[in-house]
Amino acid sequence: MIEKVEKVLEELQKIALEKIKILGKPIPKGELFLTLNIALSGSREHLHNEAINLTKIIDAEINDLIAHMEMLPVGRIHCLKCNTATCEHSAPTKRREVFVGYKPNGTPEFRDLTQALLDKGHPQTHRLFEKKPPILALAIKPQNLFSNLLPGFKPWESMRIHGAVICGWFIDKEGEKNGITFLLVSSGTKRSRRKFYLHTINLLAAKAELDKLLLTNGTFRWDQPLQWSKKMLKIIEADLRSNTLTKAFIKKIEARLNGVLDNLALRLEKITEKETHYTKHAVERKSANRPVSQAFLDLKSATVDWSFYDDTEKSIVIVGPKSRVHIFSPNGKLITSIRYSSEAIQRKIRSGKWQRISLQQLNELKKNAIRN
């Protein structure tokens, strides 16, 4: 019985691929959402009419997928200033960058994941500096993505943004850290026919090199959390199709979409827990050994001899007594405090990873730290 159903699905897949080939378009990534009405009795004419209806649904689904692909290429975000997703503003310029919203002039703003999480107050940001950093993730509500946008710019109507999840690090085959943005968007001309997508934004994706993040088994580390999210979005799509779209109902849908993003962020962070089997006690014990309480005292008495800039992490490093090392963002926010051996400190200096900063830069850091 299952084999017969598989053959039916295979035939439907072939029909869809033939239609895409006739249109002369590349095969889009995604799935077709088909509603089948199968009568247990009826004439040949009835089956013919149902076949016509199903063909129309397949055509509409294919057109939606192609429109989404052309409007929002993989790895990129729509630039409101240029009204395209193929301009120089529409993709991150570094692997570590994530999308955090729109600038006042309508161009997308990309920021290093560490700085983005720090700015948004993620409590575990300091863990990104560990030798084997966990995956950290944070959901961003849609209103926060557009909060800096000037009134003259309006989001495009056929494609709507419903929020995002920023996450990382994902280490690629070249050993580089990657930040990923999963943007929740919907496309369609009628609200009841809207389709939801989780769109990937990343430099490697924009360069069609996302396979550099594939694991040895041919999967991505984020596959399972994304599959769960896509299932939830399909349920929401079905509810939109089958319910009267009152204001109260639309408000519930928006809350459910926020819930999908929040849960996606949680599930992404659990990837590391499953992989490393960190226990809560181990994390607490590790945190307890950090000399955080001494950070600002050490900064206050710091000299240029023991103050450095880490170009890789885009942070300022202050080395205090007893091998205390404090890492600050350039705007004076404390990221983390750890202890390094004297040998490890010297090795980072000799290798050039840490470069001494000027007295002016050190004084600027102290002023910014006081403000924060």
pLDDT of 189 reads: 58
Is pTM beyond 0.85? Reply is no
pLDDT of 21 reads: 79
Nearest to 263 by CA among 177, 169, 198, 201: 198
* Residue 263 CB burial class (10 angstroms; 0-12, 13-18, ≥19): middle
pLDDT of 269 reads: 94
pLDDT digits (tens, 9 = 90+) for 250-274: 899 999 999 999 999 999 999 887 6
pLDDT of 278 reads: 42
Residue ranges for the chain with pLDDT beneath 50:
277-286, 288
Nearest to 307 by CA among 277, 275, 349: 349
pLDDT of 53 reads: 84
